A = this chain, B = another copy of it.
Amino acid sequence: MLLSKACIYGMRASLFMAAMHKQNRQFVPIREVSDSLDLSFHFLTKILQQLTAAGLMESYKGPKGGIALSRPPKEIMLIEIVTAIDGDALFTECVLGLPGCGHKKACPLHDKWAYTREAIQIMFNSTSLEELASKGKRMNLRLSDELTMEDLIKSV
């Protein structure tokens, strides 16, 4: 599996927040996110705490509280979410699991893997939440098992 479940849920929630962004909302309650995306509320809460700890989201307690992206979706790249939750092992470690991946201590797959993992990194590094949210709205793509982004935005 490329990404952990926690990371996947964190990305889905971030995309949801990006889609919400221009809906004149301030803070969105986590319960609303978890219900919309059909995720465990408590599990998602813990994941979002990692994102707020990483400075990607802000949270506010009490009535009218919830979470919000700390920057405009255009300025948040997917790789920030991935590394905040899964770390950067995917982009730095040996594909054969040997310690200290690098030119100096290479395994037989090093050159090919270094090239391929850079392609993966570029994918996450060059994709913003805004790009995916607007594409998702325009083409009516889905963010949960059956519901599209338009469905989700309407339903709240």
Nearest-neighbour CB distance to chain B for A113, whole angstroms, equals 7
Query: Is A11 engaged at the interface, CB distance under 8 Å to the other chain?
Result: yes
Query: Is A97 engaged at the interface, CB distance under 8 Å to the other chain?
Result: yes
**Closest Cβ neighbor of A110 among chain B residues:** B141
Q: Is the CB of A98 within 8 A of B142?
A: yes
Q: How far apart sit A8 and B12, CA to CA, in the bound complex (Å)?
A: 29
Contacts of A115 in B (CB 8 A): 123
Q: How far apart sit A141 and B132, CA to CA, in the bound complex (Å)?
A: 41
A interface residue numbers (CB < 8 A to B): 1-3, 5, 8, 11-12, 15, 78, 89-90, 95-99, 105-110, 112-113, 115-116, 119-120, 123, 127, 132-133, 135-136, 139, 141-145, 149
